[in-house]
Amino acid sequence: MQSTAPALPDVLCLRDIRFEDAAALLAGYGLELVLVGDGEPIPGSYWGEPEAGIIGPTVYVRRDTPVHSMLHEACHLIVLPPERRVQVHTDATDSVPEEDATCYLQIVLAGRLPGVGSDRLMADMDAWGYTYRLGSTRAWFEQDAEDARAWLTARGLLL
């Protein structure tokens, strides 16, 4: 019997990097990264497995969670003030500027994650289906994300 499920794109997953590196990166922002067992449900996952989940200041992942998903959900929490973080369960965004800032920041943080880098993350975002009006994540990041950069800079999240 042949599977009719679509094949997932070939993107970096948590199993492809050192969990400790990812956990340390998130801890620097006051977040906890929790590894859920293979095949177990991911708490707080908006899109369902294998996508990362968020509840309060905690990001939940499995080994098959894409790195871009872990960073995206973590960045949703990072852009929020601490008093809003603790209220988050599954869905953190309430505005387009926050979503744009989240996407921008995940690309920046990928550059600080050994074995990932911003270039690979942008390629993975494209492969996974992120869409931008200029046609690619890189084009958006380099040519159309001034508002996201300004939003993050104004809040002290970018230097």
| Residue that the structure tokens 């794109």 belong to | 9
The string of pLDDT tens digits covering residues 82-134 is 889 999 999 887 789 999 999 999 999 999 999 999 999 999 999 998 888 88
Locate the domains of the chain by residue range. 14-154
Instruction: Quote the pLDDT of residue 138.
Output: 96
Q: pTM of the prediction?
A: 0.92
* Burial classification of residue 82, based on how many CB atoms lie within 10 Å of its CB (0-12 exposed, 13-18 middle, 19 or more buried): exposed
Per-residue model confidence (pLDDT) at position 7? 52
> pLDDT tens digits for 12-38?
999 999 999 999 999 999 999 999 999
pLDDT value, residue 3: 43
Q: In a 3-state reduction of DSSP, which class is residue 19? A: helix
Q: Extract long-range pairs of 153-159: CB within 8 Å, 24+ residues apart.
A: 155/79, 157/78, 157/79, 157/101, 157/105, 158/105, 158/108
Residue 5 has pLDDT above 90, yes or no: no
